Structure 1
Amino acid sequence: MNTLNKTILGALLLPCGLVQATDRPNVIIICTDDQGAIDLNCYGATDLVTPNMDKLVNSGIKFTQFYGAPVCSPSRAGLLTGKTPQRAGVPGNVSSLSDEAGMPTEQYTIAEMFKAAGYTTAHIGKWHLGQADDKQPNAQGFDYSFGHLVGCIDNFSHFFYWEGSNRHDLYRNGEEVFYLGEFFPDLMVKEASAFLEGNQSDPFFMYYAMNTPHYPYQGDKKWLDYYRDKGVKYPRNLYAAFISTMDERIGQLMQKLEELGLRENTIIVFQSDNGYSTEERAHNGGGSSGIFRGSKFSLFEGGIRVPAAITWLAKLNPGEVRDQLAVNADWLPTLAEMCGIDIDTSDLDGKSLMPIINDKNIESLHSEFSWKNGKHWAARNRNWKLLGNPMIAGEKFSPKDSLFLVNLENDPGEKNNVASQYPEKVKELTAQYKRWLRNN
């Protein structure tokens, strides 16, 4: 879809059933970065201080089987387009070395949807979906953008160190800006607060894309001291300090909404992009997926199952839980329905979660789903899950485990390969994956 066609499509996306712009809810998506599946108290962590994230999650509906992608760029592309990462054109992490790499301009994003419906749109934080002008946030539906374009930065110098030459990476609306020595999570709160102050009278959409707790672990001194004094061991202590540092900044953002009187009528989506990292620069770990096996890069549950919730104080009951399978591509059609925006969902892989939000007892809207990361793939059908060429950092799999079948109801930790016991189920899920691959 070229830019002209995107504009025409956007003009067709009109708010329906809405009398005044001020009646429409605001929307904020908070996306954390490399946060483990249980790494906040309300998901099971017992050694972390996360009161603000817990309050946010518990103020709405918490999902227990919610999925992103195994790495950053694909997960974020799926969230923003309502499609699988493959169909969104971002099957793997976007390289910082190529202007050609990134989410194709023709993809229609959630920001473009909201903008066409009369919302003011903002991106604050991490992008990692392309650095060329036509792939930056302002070219993908965001009226305002502040943050870094590639995968991660040092939070004080705002330099990218991890691929190619060291370089400064901090931009506002495509123009390089310099805040040497200022802590990036604080800059995010500052920029978001200014945007909220300037747009409190009209509906807005904000994509608040955090780069925490992604490495480098740079938690506040008070939290580093706290976890040291609690005897939390390395590298969990460094990761935990960064989690609590992030939690405080989320609390500051929520406080700003309260001060401006915007919290009640603001829909807030919260999720991590993928599981915790075991990369060398992440000190080989620190995060936790609890009973779930695997971490970032893996298609075992610990790599793709993430904490996620949605809250809208004006409409949704607090403290509710949904156990159905859901994916981050579902947010686009869900938010469209919640905000009264009429869109054509026929080309989307995501499904509106409103039936599940309204009724905790209905079945998942996704009876089947598939993922791919390089040679590693997974196909899920209800409680059955088949992994092809399974991968976990630091583990070796024997040839007999090249097809790894589990039943998540009986074995949520994916410990036991039952492929030899259920050969027909292996065939069925292999066929499902191949069908999905042909369509992606």
Structure 2
Amino acid sequence: MTIHTSVQRAISLFIVLISFALANSCTTSDQQKETQNKPNIIMFMVDDMGWQDTSVPFWTEETEFNRRYHTPAMEKLADGGMMFTQAYASSVCSPTRVSLMSGMNAARHRVTNWTLRRNQSVDSEHPVLSYPQWSVNGIQPVDSIENATYATLLPQLLLDNGYFTIHCGKAHFGAMTTPAADPLNCGFDVNIAGHAAGGPGSYYGSENFGNKEKGGHSEPWGIPGLEKYHGDSIFLTEALTLEAIHALDSARDSNQPFYLYMSHYAVHVPLYADKRFYQKYLDAGLTDAEARYASMVEGMDKSLGDLMNYLDENDLTENTIILFMSDNGGFSLKPREAVHASNKPLNSGKGSAYEGGIREPMIVKWPGVVQPKTKTDKMVIIEDFFPTILEMAGVSNYQTVQTVDGMSFVPVLKNDAPNNENRDLFWNFPNNWGPSGPGIGATCTIRSGDWKLIYYYADQRFELFNISEDIGELNNLAEQQPAKVKELAVKLGEYLRSVDAQRPLFKASKQPVPWPDETNLF
């Protein structure tokens, strides 16, 4: 009797263990299938590319600049997806990249200017203003770094949810010697050529990409990790593309969906001729500087085309989302020929609160979801990419240490978006980028419907524009529309205080500059 009972118990225990193992195996198998069914995602980020630096017209009409540039891959992407004609970023690079990684508006995350050296501000001197202690060390995956913003980062969330994460190109997330200077500390499985600096010492392999010695790394501007191309005639954009494709091969071997952050250094200065395309622009009559710039634009576009060809050749196209974006407005200073006019019909360029500094070329292709050859004028801003990409990846119920300001634009892509015309967009730049020009300086800004209000901290001056009627921001309506100025100034001031934004101080009194709704105007 005892033996029989023991055998029964053993059999029962064996059945329970087998059942548990089978159930666990099924759960694991289901999880693996779910992961494998997730879409691949390519976030294709260009540096300093203007709204008009493409043969794809993002305005209501084709312009002279659209006819100048040759970007067939962008044309193909637009044919297969949705163009966003009112897509916005910050006016300089680091604030945009931090917003992408965190979903936070720059006013909240306080990385409001570009970063480089630890604990060193890049703000230029100003005769009237001094600048706040902004997060000069960038965004960080840990909370132990001084003068930095701690956040749960986008690639880490994707990595934690089964994605093979690849960083290729410009990082510029955190200052030198901080953890975020290395993308491997930010949730990426692979880092190709990313570090603390935001620009290259050289685009030429023959010049070791700005490194003083072949095979070495010279901080801050030398590009790391591409030593095998040192001494070669290859252009940086091409080298990054080849390495990205190698990384995609590794992703395929892993049987995981991939997230490729293809973040080109192009078309950031210095302007180097991409010899594959340079001569054709000289032959077309462009000056040397403009031919160099146009060749860099086309080289960037070829990279996009090469990646799209790779997807086609490996049967990945139908399950891969591509998001195309620039990090700020087009560079419109010397050596560009049309200074402050390289983004026409938009006014000014990089560093400016005007549309030329913040409006970007944006395209999204999502096979089976986004209707091809479509266009939207719905406003989106860079922090919206954070919740959007996570929703695309099927990542829900995630937790972040930061408040996420971005709103997913997946409903816009699916063409079932609610009317978002009541949504206001905000910018805060309590800094001094350095160069002077239209709209360049310490400012805060609100876009509300068709209206846009810019507040200049230095002299507490307002500019008001109706963007739908005056895309070039040439007709300041502040004096004619005082009620609208007051309405928007109140919205802007309330928002900035709500996110604990920063503002400059007067050098003479050491007192903070009034918020826009605290000026003598009110």
Normalising to structure 1: TM-score of the pair? 0.86
How far did 1:104 drift?
Answer: 2.8
In 1: Cα distance, 2:137 partner to 2:372 partner? 41
Which portions of structure 1, spanning 4 or more consecutive aligned residues, are displaced by more than 4 angstroms?
16-19, 97-100, 165-168, 281-287
Structure 2 unaligned blocks of 5 or more: 1-29, 121-135, 142-149, 213-217, 432-441, 502-522
The 5 A counterparts of 1:207-218 are: 207-218=261-272
- 1:86 is aligned to 107
In 2: Cα distance, 1:35 partner to 1:360 partner? 30
- 2:224 is aligned to 171
How far did 1:383 drift?
Answer: 1.1
- 1:159 matches 2:210: yes
- 1:377 matches 2:449: no
In 2: Cα distance, 1:120 partner to 1:289 partner? 37
The 5 A counterparts of 1:58-97 are: 58-96=79-117
* Residue of 135, 144, 155 corresponding to 1:111: 155
For 1:316, the aligned partner's letter is V
Deviations 1:309-349 (A, max 9, x none): 11112332211111011111111111222221103589211
How far did 1:117 drift?
Answer: 0.9
- 2:247 is aligned to 195
The alpha-carbon distance between structure 1 residues 40 and 402, as it changes in their structure 2 partners (threshold 3 A), is same
* Residue of 169, 176, 193 corresponding to 1:147: 193
Given that 2:85 and 2:361 are in contact with CA atoms closer than 8 Å, whether structure 1 keeps it comes out as yes
- 1:25 matches 2:39: yes
- Kindly name which structure, 1 or 2, has the bigger radius of gyration based on alpha carbons: 2
* Residue of 230, 238, 250 corresponding to 1:180: 230
SS in 2 for 1:235: helix
In 2: Cα distance, 1:95 partner to 1:54 partner? 35
In 2: Cα distance, 1:284 partner to 1:98 partner? 35
In 1: Cα distance, 2:46 partner to 2:107 partner? 22
- 1:249 matches 2:294: no
- Among the aligned pairs, what percent are the same residue? 30
- 1:128 is aligned to 172
How far did 1:364 drift?
Answer: 2.5
Deviates more, 1:233-242 or 1:413-422: 233-242
- 2:455 is aligned to 388
How far did 1:384 drift?
Answer: 0.9
Given that 1:236 and 1:286 are in contact with CA atoms closer than 8 Å, whether structure 2 keeps it comes out as no
Deviates more, 1:179-188 or 1:145-154: 179-188
The alpha-carbon distance between structure 1 residues 168 and 63, as it changes in their structure 2 partners (threshold 3 A), is closer
- 1:50 matches 2:41: no
Given that 1:325 and 1:366 are in contact with CA atoms closer than 8 Å, whether structure 2 keeps it comes out as no
Given that 2:85 and 2:377 are in contact with CA atoms closer than 8 Å, whether structure 1 keeps it comes out as yes
Deviations 1:135-172 (A, max 9, x none): 121111111101142011111222279xxx96563334
In 1: Cα distance, 2:100 partner to 2:37 partner? 25
In 1: Cα distance, 2:327 partner to 2:416 partner? 24
Given that 1:39 and 1:48 are in contact with CA atoms closer than 8 Å, whether structure 2 keeps it comes out as yes
The alpha-carbon distance between structure 1 residues 287 and 436, as it changes in their structure 2 partners (threshold 3 A), is same
SS in 2 for 1:386: strand
CA RMSD of aligned residues (A): 2.7
- 1:357 matches 2:408: no
Deviates more, 1:361-370 or 1:315-324: 361-370
The alpha-carbon distance between structure 1 residues 412 and 160, as it changes in their structure 2 partners (threshold 3 A), is farther
The 5 A counterparts of 1:242-391 are: 242-280=296-334, 288-342=342-396, 343=398, 347-359=403-415, 362-364=418-420, 367-373=423-429, 374=431, 375-389=442-456
The alpha-carbon distance between structure 1 residues 412 and 228, as it changes in their structure 2 partners (threshold 3 A), is same
The alpha-carbon distance between structure 1 residues 357 and 366, as it changes in their structure 2 partners (threshold 3 A), is farther
SS in 1 for 2:375: strand
In 1: Cα distance, 2:336 partner to 2:260 partner? 28
Normalising to structure 2: TM-score of the pair? 0.73
In 2: Cα distance, 1:141 partner to 1:55 partner? 31
Structure 1 unaligned blocks of 5 or more: 1-15, 392-398
In 1: Cα distance, 2:453 partner to 2:348 partner? 15
For 1:300, the aligned partner's letter is Y
Deviations 1:358-405 (A, max 9, x none): 2277422761111022221211111111011299xxxxxxx7x92000
Deviates more, 1:408-417 or 1:26-35: 408-417
- 2:10 is aligned to none
- 2:49 is aligned to 35
The alpha-carbon distance between structure 1 residues 196 and 344, as it changes in their structure 2 partners (threshold 3 A), is same
Given that 2:381 and 2:425 are in contact with CA atoms closer than 8 Å, whether structure 1 keeps it comes out as no
The alpha-carbon distance between structure 1 residues 95 and 171, as it changes in their structure 2 partners (threshold 3 A), is same
Given that 1:406 and 1:416 are in contact with CA atoms closer than 8 Å, whether structure 2 keeps it comes out as yes
Deviates more, 1:96-105 or 1:365-374: 96-105
For 2:461, the aligned partner's letter is S
How far did 1:78 drift?
Answer: 1.0
- 1:12 is aligned to none
* Residue of 266, 291, 299 corresponding to 1:237: 291
Deviates more, 1:86-95 or 1:185-194: 86-95
Deviates more, 1:40-49 or 1:342-351: 342-351
Deviations 1:39-66 (A, max 9, x none): 1111241111110122113211110000
Given that 1:18 and 1:24 are in contact with CA atoms closer than 8 Å, whether structure 2 keeps it comes out as no
- Number of positions where the alignment pairs a residue of Structure 1 with one of Structure 2: 411
For 1:193, the aligned partner's letter is I
Given that 1:84 and 1:349 are in contact with CA atoms closer than 8 Å, whether structure 2 keeps it comes out as yes
For 2:139, the aligned partner's letter is M
Given that 2:273 and 2:291 are in contact with CA atoms closer than 8 Å, whether structure 1 keeps it comes out as no
